[in-house]
Amino acid sequence: MCVVSWPRDDAKLDRVRALMGEQGVDAIVARAPDNVLYLTGFWGMKGYDAVVFPRQGEPTLICLEASADDAARTAWTGDVRLFAGYDPVDPRPPTARVLETAVAAASDYETIGLELSLGTQASDRMVGEPTTYTRAWFDAFPAAVDAAPLLAEARMVKTDQELERMRLANEIAGAAMDHVRGVIRPGLTEAQIAAEWLGFVHGEGTGWAGKVELALGFSLVWSGPGIRTFTATTDRPVVEGEPTLFEIWVCADGYWCDHTKNLVCGELDERYRELEDGLLAVYEAAVGDCVPGASLAELDRTIRAGVDRLGFPGQPSHPVAHGVGARAHEPPYAHQAGGGDLRSGMVLAIEPGCYWDGGGGLRVEDNFLVTEDGPEKLCPFPDGIVRAG
């Protein structure tokens, strides 16, 4: 059995504390599973857990009793306070006991930061029921400031440890694509080939390289005319001569990758060959622009102008460049009406797409590390439309 414990990542914790000092925040009280992971090294099972992270001193991890062994092994703090998932004399939900413990642990700090403007969060290890918090959580800290932008700022630039963990997720995603490349065939349904990919990620990715305790996959798979944005995988059959598109995410112990890969059975239809050539030119130009100091707004404008020139004005309807890390989608986001510049150490998913009315089209996507020497592609699987077999 693979059992992994990562050493404390002081580089990112020091970055958070420096930002807290600049903004006058004495302690952050966080409960999103990805922020708890980011600040403590502990990835919870149910999303009930929380952390009180001070600018100075030892953080307090508030952890479900059933996860005590995991916390003892993986958490970067010795102050772990346990709460019961079920209390025979307390009918309240576990989050009520978490809140009481968090209030007590934060009582000595003056300026508290909460995730007041948190828009999305990553899943816990169970993922089926993402945990949300009630008004009582926020009412308990009435003078709190918003720490969500601070955490987003810290998380945008990855540390060496984070990059190592993200590379593992990227390797698993690529290996799973190699697997389905060998088994896909016309007549299999989108759902069946998605299951092949998902099964490889979970079955082979868990234990990957002796460094991944749990790998989970998430996918949308569409074939031929089924390719379109924001639709579910179906029992539509794989189409010969047209791409089967894999919109895929791997979470490896809380660190993510986000890709779009394409396979074709047989000879590629000529209209798709032309579309592939045009879209890859847009994609490669955008990737080449991913250098320190480049404008995020200009990156969005450039990609969308390129897609427009291919004959798809106003497309795509989804973001074309965003950060990846302890969530599959996190800041920075490239938007022509926004701001910000790329920095060395950021990881961006670049994903232009073109879609025909009525179904069909193409998207390409990989994750790129921004470095002083140029962008580094993190997934070993090729871009474009890859021949199956």
Residue 160 binned pLDDT confidence (cut-offs 50, 70, 90): very high
294-349 tens-digit pLDDT:
999 999 999 999 999 999 999 999 999 999 999 999 999 999 999 999 999 999 99
Q: What is the mean pLDDT of the chain?
A: 97
**CA proximity to 190, closest of 123, 243, 145:** 243
pLDDT value at residue 129: 85
**Contact predicate 238/265, CB 8 Å:** yes
Beta strands in the chain (DSSP E): 27-30, 50-54, 60-64, 79-83, 112-114, 145-146, 215-223, 243-252, 255-264, 321-323, 330-333, 347-350, 353-355, 361-363, 366-369, 376-377, 385-387
| CA separation for the pair 99, 90 (Å, rounded) | 14
What sign does the dihedral 9-12-14-20 (CA atoms) show?
negative
Decide: pTM greater than 0.85.
yes
Residue 84 binned pLDDT confidence (cut-offs 50, 70, 90): very high
What sign does the dihedral 115-343-165-25 (CA atoms) show?
negative
DSSP state, residue 269 = P
Please check whether the domain covering 10-155 is classified as CATH 3.40.50.1220: no
Residue 61 binned pLDDT confidence (cut-offs 50, 70, 90): very high
Does the pLDDT at position 3 exceed 90?
Answer: no
Does the pLDDT at position 131 exceed 90?
Answer: no
pLDDT value at residue 25: 98
Q: What angle do CA 81, 83, 86 make, to 5 degrees?
A: 170
| CA separation for the pair 33, 102 (Å, rounded) | 15
List of residues 6+ apart from 61 with CB closer than 8 A: 36, 40, 42, 49, 50, 51, 71, 75, 77, 79, 80, 81
Percent over 90 (pLDDT), the chain: 95
Does the pLDDT at position 230 exceed 90?
Answer: no
Which CATH class for the 160-387 domain?
alpha beta
pLDDT value at residue 105: 98
Percent over 70 (pLDDT), the chain: 100
| CA separation for the pair 281, 305 (Å, rounded) | 12
pLDDT value at residue 158: 98
DSSP state, residue 92 = S
| CA separation for the pair 374, 130 (Å, rounded) | 37
234-281 tens-digit pLDDT:
999 999 999 999 999 999 999 999 999 999 999 999 999 999 999 999
**Contact predicate 282/310, CB 8 Å:** yes
Residues of each domain in the chain carrying CATH 3.40.350.10 = 10-155
Q: Is 186 helix (H, G, I), strand (E, B) or coil?
A: strand
List of residues 6+ apart from 14 with CB closer than 8 A: none
| CA separation for the pair 133, 346 (Å, rounded) | 30
Q: Which two tokens stand for residue 361?
A: 């089209």
Buried b (16+ CB within 10 A) or exposed e, 171-190: bbbbbbbebbeeebeeebbb
Q: How many CB atoms lie within 10 A of CB 132?
A: 10
Does the pLDDT at position 2 exceed 90?
Answer: no
> Of the ranges 132-136, 145-149, 190-194, which one carries the lowest mean pLDDT score?
132-136
Does the pLDDT at position 57 exceed 90?
Answer: yes
pLDDT value at residue 133: 85
6-21 tens-digit pLDDT:
999 999 999 999 999 9
Residues of each domain in the chain carrying CATH 3.90.230.10 = 160-387
**Contact predicate 190/221, CB 8 Å:** yes
pLDDT value at residue 128: 82
pLDDT value at residue 42: 98
